[in-house]
Chains A and B, each alone.
Chain A
Amino acid sequence: MVTRTHEAPEFDATYGAIAHPVRRRILDLLVEDDMPVHALAQQFEMSRPAVSQHLKVLLDSGLVRERRHGRERRYRLAPDGLRTVRDWIQHYERFWDDRFERLREHLEQTNPTPTTHAPESDSQNPDMQSQRTKGPQP
């Protein structure tokens, strides 16, 4: 359940890359537009080599790609790299959807006749309950 994406090395690279505030800021900037390193460096109170180091981590993780523009190298966001993050969360979503359905089954088996405080007509009808609960998740 929680594991498949964790086993992928790119998962570590992605999470490592977005774990640093400077690198997240770089990604934020690159969402807007492609940029050369000197333009990026202007946004930070750190040396250009330091910014380049962060860029290298992002490049290695595949979250950022480099493109030569004449003599200039520009950097752009490669959002596919964030897929592992999304897949990881979706993993949990599927896991919990499955478990909450099992919880419903467990409750139905252990308490087949709900003794609710103020029973309403539809709450007594198990067919309607199960219809309400199957189908797409909220």
Chain B
Amino acid sequence: MTTEATNDLSTVTRDLTYPQPPPVVWKALTDTNALADWLMPNDLKPEVGHAFDFRGQPYGDWDGVIHCAVLESVPNERLVYTWASLGVETTVTFELAPEASGTRLHFEQTGFEVTNTRAKQGAEYGWNAFFEKLPAVLATI
């Protein structure tokens, strides 16, 4: 399954620039306390295979917990982890690139496919193909 399509509704993409250099931004992404300051309390370690949780404010039926596991960690460059909550498992990717004036941060959250059994039956069929059509359909609403 491709995750390259960025304009479809199965991916959230953001490109941002921060004035601080990559090591500073990397620290904000990977240091437990720094990360808690802007995202959520967590026990992240930027080590491949490390399983950790984010603990948000419980809301309604949601216990506030997001289960994660580090898939890739390249200091100052790339951090990828799974992001699972309420039966939906997505993947978040942070990519850092130095710029003259700081750091370019490319962010993606991919895989908005429900991972319940019913969803798995259909996994072999391109979700992206379907989602690519969605914006056009939604535009008609």
Contacts and interface: CB of A to CB of B under 8 A. Distances in A.
Interface of A: 1-4, 6-7, 15-16, 18-21, 24, 27-28, 31, 77, 79-80, 82-83, 85-86, 88-89, 92-93, 96-97, 99-100, 102-107, 110-111, 114-120, 122-123, 126, 129, 132-133, 137-138
B34 A110 contact: yes
B12 A92 contact: yes
A117 B100 contact: yes
Interface of B: 9-10, 12, 14-21, 24-25, 28, 34, 37-39, 56, 59-62, 66, 85-86, 88, 98, 100-102, 105, 107, 109, 112-114, 116, 118-119, 121-122, 124-125, 130, 133-134, 137-138, 140-141
B109 A20 contact: no
Most buried by A among B85, B101, B119: B101
A138 B107 CA distance: 12
A3 B87 CA distance: 11
A117 to B, nearest CB: 7
B60 A116 contact: no
B102 A114 contact: yes
Contacts of B114: 15-16, 19
Contact of B118 (A19, A79, A92, A115): A19
A120 B133 CA distance: 43
